[in-house]
Amino acid sequence: MPSVKPGVVTGSAYRDLVAACKQDGYALPAVNITSSSTMNAALEAAANAGSDIIIQLSNGGAQFFAGKGIKDAAAARVVGAISAARHAQLMAEYYGVAVVMHTDHANRKFVPWVDEMLKWSEKAYAETGKALYSSHMLDLSEESLEDNLSTCEEFLKRMAKIEMSLEIELGVTGGEEDGIGHDLDTSVEEIDPRLYTRPEEVEEAYRRLAPLGHFSVAAAFGNVHGVYKPGNVKLRPEILLESQKYVSEKHNLGDRPLDFVFHGGSGSEKEKIEEAVGYGVFKMNIDTDTQFAYSRPVGEYVEANARAFKYQVDPDTDQPYKKQYDPRVWVREAELSMAARLEEAFKDLGATGRSVTKG
């Protein structure tokens, strides 16, 4: 696919990448990162898997990327996101993978965050012909459908001018992610119906947004952020198929006209993942599992080298511990573990060896 080259993809290259995923029956992991280290681990995993990748930041992830030393949290969320996008643009070319740069859930409180990031991309587009991000997400699912879609219309009109895409959420993904949403009680008998999006809602979104520009839909089919013990909430990917058929018939379109995303992918059953991909999911979010994969080897390393984290020089043996406590050693262990977990995700999603930059 000649339009897709290593680096951050936007515009037609992004749409071609999405189309390739759906046509060939695979999806890409959307990896939440918080630092250059976690981004590099994601890029390394993609290169090892021979796949492309979606890299995304939550508002808190963007703030952390900028550094907690910046006291203005709102400013840090913006400049952290911009810094991450620039890091990805340079490094993706050297890792040889196509990267979709995306920001995760932004509810009404964080609409100004998206607005400020767009200003940076508008400036970059005017100067270089390319936005800094492939897409942003507006998660207004806790509001009325009218308030949700009217705001999405406003932003998509603006984003289309600089060849960016918009991700929207219809229905509510259970759980909490970086301060957005609510922890889910899976022990209750009555499950919130908003956890399952109705085809009529998806069709209204298509009718209003499709004429304006490219968009994708995070439709709720029982998804839950984080990893929970089994409860009453069940994944029902068939809801996605019902929406695809409904919109296709209503608008006289072809097979699977909607571009779906899968939130709350960590801990999901592999069979359900495969089914959802077959119904038009091209993107599956993964955060909780990669956080644990990154952190676990650090704890193991500290336990195995406990004295090195108490003394620079062992008081009993005079042994210097610089080589043990050097952050490059244990951070590298974290990166390798995160990359290994992501390589598993690429396999689960059928993306291994599918990079469109290779052919």
The residues annotated as belonging to the active site are 104
Q: Is 32 annotated as a binding residue?
A: no
Q: Is 105 annotated as a binding residue?
A: yes
| Residue type for position 77 | R
Q: Is 318 annotated as a binding residue?
A: no
Q: Is 67 annotated as a binding residue?
A: no
Q: Is 3 annotated as a binding residue?
A: no
Name the E strands within 19-120. Answer: 28-32, 53-57, 98-103
Nearest Cα residue to 277 out of 348, 340, 217, 222 = 348
Q: Which two tokens stand for residue 256?
A: 């699977």
Q: Is 286 annotated as a binding residue?
A: yes
Q: Is 148 annotated as a binding residue?
A: no
CA separation, residue 235 to residues 85, 152, 197, 220, 317 (Å): 33, 26, 12, 9, 57
Q: Report how far residue 64's alpha carbon sits from residue 66's, in angstroms, rounded to the nearest whole number.
A: 5
Q: Is 169 annotated as a binding residue?
A: yes
Say if CB 180 and CB 105 are below 8 A apart. yes
Say if CB 20 and CB 1 are below 8 A apart. yes
Q: Is 222 annotated as a binding residue?
A: no
* H or E segment and range at residue 197: none
Q: Is 72 annotated as a binding residue?
A: no
Q: Which two tokens stand for residue 69?
A: 């030393």
106 phi, psi to nearest 5 deg: -130, 105
Q: Is 142 annotated as a binding residue?
A: no
* H or E segment and range at residue 354: none
Q: Report how far residue 38's alpha carbon sits from residue 26's, in angstroms, rounded to the nearest whole number.
A: 24
Q: Is 266 annotated as a binding residue?
A: yes
Nearest Cα residue to 84 out of 76, 95, 74, 96 = 76
Strand partners, 182: 175
Per the annotation, where are the binding residues? 105, 139, 169, 225-226, 263-266, 285-288
Residue numbering of the annotated binding site for Zn(2+): 105, 139, 169, 225, 263
